[in-house]
Structure 1
Amino acid sequence: MSEEIPGAQPLPAPAGVSDTARAAFDRSARLVFAGRYEEALTATEETAALFRGPAPGGRPANRETAAALAYVLVLRCEALAKLGRWDECLRTASEAVDLGRGQAVTAPFTAPLGATLLGLGTALWGLGRPQEAVAVTRESVDLHRQLARADHAYRPQLANALNQLGVVLSRLGRHAEALDVSKESVALFRRLAAADQATHTHGLAQAVNNLARRQSARDQHRRALRSIQEAVALYRRLAAANPAVHRRDLAMALGNAARMHSGRADSLAAVAEAVAILEELDRSEPGVHGGLFADSLSLHAAALADLGRFREAAEVTTRAVAMMREQAAINPVARRGDLAVALSFHARVRAEGGLDLAAGLAAATEAVALMRVLAAEIPALYAPSLAEAVALESRLRAVAPPADTA
């Protein structure tokens, strides 16, 4: 959860539609990019109805209106994704892609199809279907390359699509490919931000954050630390200007910084700040930030354990596992890996601290079962984690008291 699919880039205003429909589209976009996702759902539903026409299940009257409807559905999928409503996001993105597939891929439909494919990739990633997400995201990258060659105005969309492709490739353990496309995304965003800092700082921050993860996966630790420090600095600036939208992003980057700091005190400080931010966000939006919050709690526990503060760490992992179980109940396929990691942290803290070893063994055994399934599906990504979990389970089995069979 310490990286997420990048959000949609600002979309062009629809052409060939009424002033009323254009105003509704603009309002939907403003709400999405302001982070007001619940309001955006209402606005996008109303806007989509304008473009569909009066008949129930109506179709757009012309190609321009169909392109505008596709963009509205992309905005709606973005809001649904941010709220964790992945099944609805998938249905919405699929409808948007179907609109594009039904048209010749020429203007005005090349750009909407590229955007809708990116939305579909987001939904598939969120539902734990990375193999499918790679295929549609790569197609989106190819379309955006075509657009950007013809018109440099599409470079932000290309940079965003490359960033997303790096994330989904990493979920398949294809770290070398992921690193290459992440580097290209960052290079594009740097050029864009140099020309227009206000518009492109957020895209650059997302890309650099994800580049840090790619570098870390390739054991480029010094480069990863420099990248994540840059991402944190960028997100601090964004969060100071617009906390409602960017404090969550800052917490995510701080979690990555905690992973990459070599100093234990630095790691603890970074993740403690992330947890404090997420505590506050969770009070105002219960359940919305659960996956990232649980991941940050596990990192917090690991940092405490590294400093020998095992009792505090054990309390934190108990909470982290409970929160991740809630997330796994909502989205079981996508959250299996996150739950397995949380359980492994839970077991590790108890093994190292000699605390409630029976509970630690139970957690390790559950983590191993989850990791076996995941390693069979994506061995490049999960086989090392499975080996670690098996070793931890064996260690705990040797020292945990026998189960009460009475």
Structure 2
Amino acid sequence: MSENHSHGADPADPADLAQGIAEAVALRNSCLSLLEKGEYDRAEPILAESVAMLRSLAALDPHAVGPQLGLGLKPLAALAVAGSNYGRARQLATEALPLLRQGVTERPSQYVASLSRVLWYLAESLCQVGEPEPALPLLDEAIELVDHPGFAPDPVVAALLSDVRLAVDLREVVLFRCLRTRLEALQRLHRTDEALIAALEAVDVGRLLAQRAPDRYSPLMARVLTRLALMHEQSDGPAAGAFRQESLPYWYAAAVHQRERLGPDPQAAPQMLRFALIKELMPFGLELVRLGRGPEALPSAREAVDLARALAAENPDKWQSVFETCQKHLAGLEHRPW
């Protein structure tokens, strides 16, 4: 924030308030390219500074600033979900929801899409910390918003996104993510029939997304197909095998894309990008094992161990458990009599 806002004129003055909001929004938008490149560690403090600016302004005029604060909290919640920090994601999304709901009542086209995504962030966080029941009404609300006439991506964000990203309908993205989380929540509640319906709906939408933008949506599609295979494992072996077989090219495409994002020197890439590759390599190997193709899983398991070893050396507190999991997986593969 400018020195004038920190120590001088009263930000509650409409002109001064508008300038303060503009500065905070400009700061937030300045790191969109970092988010696109996966440089989350660099983007997060910029986003946090923008939110701090908006919180200060909102304390003086909550009605005028609140919706913009909600928009500022959204990418921080997204980063928390991406980093599996579900407690923080829950806190940020919970703060953002009433602010974005206020925005929807005033300017739907600016806030509906963001509200739907924050509802998903909160639902996903609740589901991952073992609270699937309250996640379901949030997902229902998010899915209902997909059909809202005001649903549209932020024009500033859209202008800065890649052509591949723009080729995808944001409505389908939100619907797919919500159906995937709904599937998991229903499974945790042992509502198997409803979970199966959600899974099949997610696969229908996911196939379209992965066809249009395979780099981005292959990982999610692979996970839904794997979950479908597990759901059929006891009751319908052939169907389980078919879903598992269908998942393999998606897992492979996901790993290839993550390798490309690491660049020519993988060990110099941001830690979260390297972790993202590990998250594709491990389940890809597991699916190969389940299909009786264990030896083919060894290269991906070894690659995951190498990546995790380097991460653990850089930050043991954060990555040592990941390294140990990768090591255990590789040891299991190497000692099996294929």
CA deviations over 1:42-89 (Å, ceiling 9, x no partner): xxxxxxxxxxxxxxxxxxxxxxxxxxxxxxxxxxxxxxxxxxxxxxxx
The correspondence of residues 4-403 of structure 1 with structure 2, limited to 5 A, is 107=16, 109-151=19-61, 152-172=63-83, 174-193=85-104, 200-235=111-146, 237-238=147-148, 244-262=169-187, 263=191, 266-283=194-211, 285=212, 288=213, 290-308=215-233, 309-332=239-262, 333=269, 335-351=273-289, 353=290, 355-375=292-312, 384-401=321-338
Query: Quick one: which amino acid aligns to residue 257 of structure 1?
Result: R
Of stretches 302-311 and 341-350 in structure 1, the one that deviates more from structure 2 is: 302-311
1:336 is paired with a residue whose SS is helix
Shift of 1:114: 1.1
Shift of 1:390: 3.3
Name the CA distance, whole Å, in 2 between partners of 1:385 and 1:348: 16
1:246 is paired with a residue whose SS is helix
Judge conservation of contact 2:255–2:280 (CA < 8 Å) in 1: no
TM-score, structure 1 length as denominator?
0.62
Q: Where do 5+ consecutive residues of structure 1 fail to align?
A: 1-99, 402-406
Shift of 1:253: 2.1
Shift of 1:232: 2.9
Name the CA distance, whole Å, in 2 between partners of 1:183 and 1:279: 31
CA deviations over 1:126-174 (Å, ceiling 9, x no partner): 3333332221111111111233344423322101111222222445554
- The count of corresponding residues between Structure 1 and Structure 2 is 296
Name the CA distance, whole Å, in 1 between partners of 2:82 and 2:39: 9
Name the CA distance, whole Å, in 1 between partners of 2:297 and 2:274: 18
Name the CA distance, whole Å, in 2 between partners of 1:215 and 1:378: 27
Name the CA distance, whole Å, in 2 between partners of 1:297 and 1:290: 12
Shift of 1:182: 1.5
Name the CA distance, whole Å, in 1 between partners of 2:324 and 2:195: 25
Query: Quick one: which amino acid aligns to residue 246 of structure 2?
Result: V
RMSD (Å) for aligned C-alpha atoms: 3.4
Shift of 1:388: 3.8
2:30 is paired with a residue whose SS is helix
CA deviations over 1:243-278 (Å, ceiling 9, x no partner): 944122212222232333314554454344333324
Judge conservation of contact 2:221–2:247 (CA < 8 Å) in 1: no
Name the CA distance, whole Å, in 2 between partners of 1:396 and 1:184: 45
Name the CA distance, whole Å, in 1 between partners of 2:80 and 2:244: 33
Of stretches 111-120 and 261-270 in structure 1, the one that deviates more from structure 2 is: 261-270
Query: Quick one: which amino acid aligns to residue 280 of structure 1?
Result: L
Name the CA distance, whole Å, in 2 between partners of 1:331 and 1:348: 23
Query: Quick one: which amino acid aligns to residue 345 of structure 1?
Result: P
Q: Where do 5+ consecutive residues of structure 2 fail to align?
A: 6-10, 153-167, 234-238, 263-268
CA deviations over 1:164-215 (Å, ceiling 9, x no partner): 2222244555443332121111132234445666654322211110112222
Query: Quick one: which amino acid aligns to residue 114 of structure 1?
Result: A
Cα 1:228/1:382, change in 2 over 3 Å = farther
Name the CA distance, whole Å, in 1 between partners of 2:259 and 2:44: 25
Shift of 1:386: 4.2
CA deviations over 1:294-316 (Å, ceiling 9, x no partner): 32223312321342245324423
Query: Quick one: which amino acid aligns to residue 331 of structure 1?
Result: R
Cα 1:214/1:146, change in 2 over 3 Å = same
Cα 1:211/1:379, change in 2 over 3 Å = farther
The alignment-based identity, stated in percent, is 18
1:201 is paired with a residue whose SS is helix
CA deviations over 1:64-117 (Å, ceiling 9, x no partner): xxxxxxxxxxxxxxxxxxxxxxxxxxxxxxxxxxxx87x955746422321122
CA deviations over 1:368-394 (Å, ceiling 9, x no partner): 333344455566765555444333323
Cα 1:264/1:338, change in 2 over 3 Å = farther
Name the CA distance, whole Å, in 1 between partners of 2:301 and 2:71: 38
2:57 is paired with a residue whose SS is helix
